Structure 1
Amino acid sequence: MDHSRYPREPGVIDTLEETLMAVLMGLMTVLTFVNVVLRYGFNSSIIWSLEVTLVMFAWLVLLGVSYGFKIRMHLGVDAVTNLLAPGPRRAVALVAGLLCLLYAVLFLKGAWDYWAPFADLPKTTGRWFPTGFDWDARRFGFTETGDIPIPFDGLKDWLEKTFNSYTEGGETVVDSYSKMPVLVPYVVLPLSALLMLFRVLQACIRIWKGHEDSMIVSHEAEDAVDDAATRMRDA
């Protein structure tokens, strides 16, 4: 595979993104392996392992979407656009980029509106695009996950005071969490949507400045042929 096709941003951000995804994949593998050994070897299990694994898989997929836009590895069909002259091809790429931006905005609104009630925050108003905030919308900051524990008391206290408290009779009442509130694993929804919007905007700017004439860089079939040819030459 020609790795020069996939631009990298050397530095802290690139390292953090790749490290986070690698850690998620590693932890998923370890947890699944340990749970299998416990189940079949000791007739036991880590009760929260399955739910945590599902959460990490969701994080991996959603963060991977924005990362795919960043290094331009999403698949696309460019058989027709490659027949166009550079100018029209760039114009078509800009239209495609604007459509991706529109989708990213809609995704961000939907992701925020789904997550916000669990974080005791207001949803946005407007059917398609945000026009404001609905401060009267019902909050669900008390909602907990099924089995995931809160790892340490400091985090538990902060989550309870921030997201599971209310005022009654002039006094602040803080309810206790027995499990991790869903707002923590679900925060990946607005985060990944925001990252995707940012990465698509970056791609559009590159096309606008003339650095690229397409949002598509990944060509798996061509890469496979190139790899096969390389191996045959080296054999």
Structure 2
Amino acid sequence: MTQYQDNQPKTATARFFDGLEENIIALILGLMTLITFVNVVLRYVFNHSLIWGLEVVLILFAWLVLLGISYGFKKTSHLGVDAVINILPSRGQRVLAIISAIACLAYAGLLMKGAWDYWAPFAALQPTEGRWFPLGFTEGVRDRAFYVTDQVPMLGIFRWLEDAINYGDSYDKLPRVVPYFIIPFSAALILLRVVQATIRILKGTQHSLIVSHEAEDEVERVAHGEYEE
């Protein structure tokens, strides 16, 4: 059984989405750094600050973490403990990999349901009913579309939300539905990545859901002089 390799041939679409995700993550990290740096300069040099700076950085950090989780599944870069798995024969490792994949699928499904149920009221939508599995949509849940962030100013590109979910009332701050959108979006991405990884495990092209130790093995071989120039 071979370990899934990210350097396998990819389609143009796969390369596009790889680059898109990487650029979005890099952009978020860059914006966090820039806003924090500007705020520090403003505070200690000009005795001023961006009142919304801290909240925006916190929002961006949440986006970075949640997007990073799905990206980690995609690249098989999540850490895990495999001390017991490695002492098993190949067949036993495969069985445990499939069991762990099924457990992750169940968790990702519950995460998706919970993410939707949390975000939906902020978008004037209905959460699902059922504790473990969505059995439909509940009725009469009071929406939270009027909830806004503490300090982040309203952006013109989101003014359409006022008529769409806020009954025409204007927002003085950015509604929470916008930054909270990352919750169901990232949960859906995580579920998608786990499904893809499970399929690769069943096909035998991926060893497990956690990071491979092949890189460590290569470093050890170099350290012992097994490679010659």
TM-score computed with the length of structure 2 as normaliser: 0.88
Unpaired segments of 5 or more residues in structure 2?
Answer: none
Distance 1:218-1:54 versus aligned 2 partners, 3 A rule: farther
Look up the match of 2:57. Answer: 53
Greater CA deviation, 106-115 or 79-88?
79-88
Look up the match of 1:160. Answer: 162
Aligned match for 1:94, one of 89, 92, 98: 98
Distance in 1 (CA, whole Å) between partners of 2:30 and 2:153 is 20
Distance in 1 (CA, whole Å) between partners of 2:158 and 2:215 is 48
Alignment of 1:1-235 (within 5 A): 5-6=5-6, 10-152=14-156, 154-156=157-159, 158-165=160-167, 174-219=168-213, 222=216, 226=220, 229=223
TM-score computed with the length of structure 1 as normaliser: 0.86
What's the offset of the Cα at 1:155? 2.5
Other structure's SS at 1:45 match = coil
What's the offset of the Cα at 1:40? 0.5
Distance in 2 (CA, whole Å) between partners of 1:151 and 1:223 is 51
Distance in 2 (CA, whole Å) between partners of 1:162 and 1:220 is 51
Distance 1:29-1:20 versus aligned 2 partners, 3 A rule: same
- CA deviations on 1:155-188 (whole Å, 9 max, x unpaired) are 21x01011101xxxxxxxx111000000000000
Distance 1:74-1:118 versus aligned 2 partners, 3 A rule: same
Q: Output the aligned Cα RMSD.
A: 2.4
Distance in 2 (CA, whole Å) between partners of 1:224 and 1:30 is 37
Distance in 2 (CA, whole Å) between partners of 1:178 and 1:228 is 60
Distance in 1 (CA, whole Å) between partners of 2:220 and 2:155 is 48
Q: Does the Cα contact within 8 Å between 1:86 and 1:213 map onto a contact in 2?
A: no
Distance in 2 (CA, whole Å) between partners of 1:81 and 1:200 is 20
Look up the match of 1:171. Answer: none
State the number of aligned residues: 219
- CA deviations on 1:53-82 (whole Å, 9 max, x unpaired) are 000000000000000000000011112212
Unpaired segments of 5 or more residues in structure 1?
Answer: 166-173
The percentage of aligned residue pairs carrying the same residue is 54
What's the offset of the Cα at 1:150? 1.9
Other structure's SS at 1:133 match = coil
Distance in 2 (CA, whole Å) between partners of 1:105 and 1:7 is 29
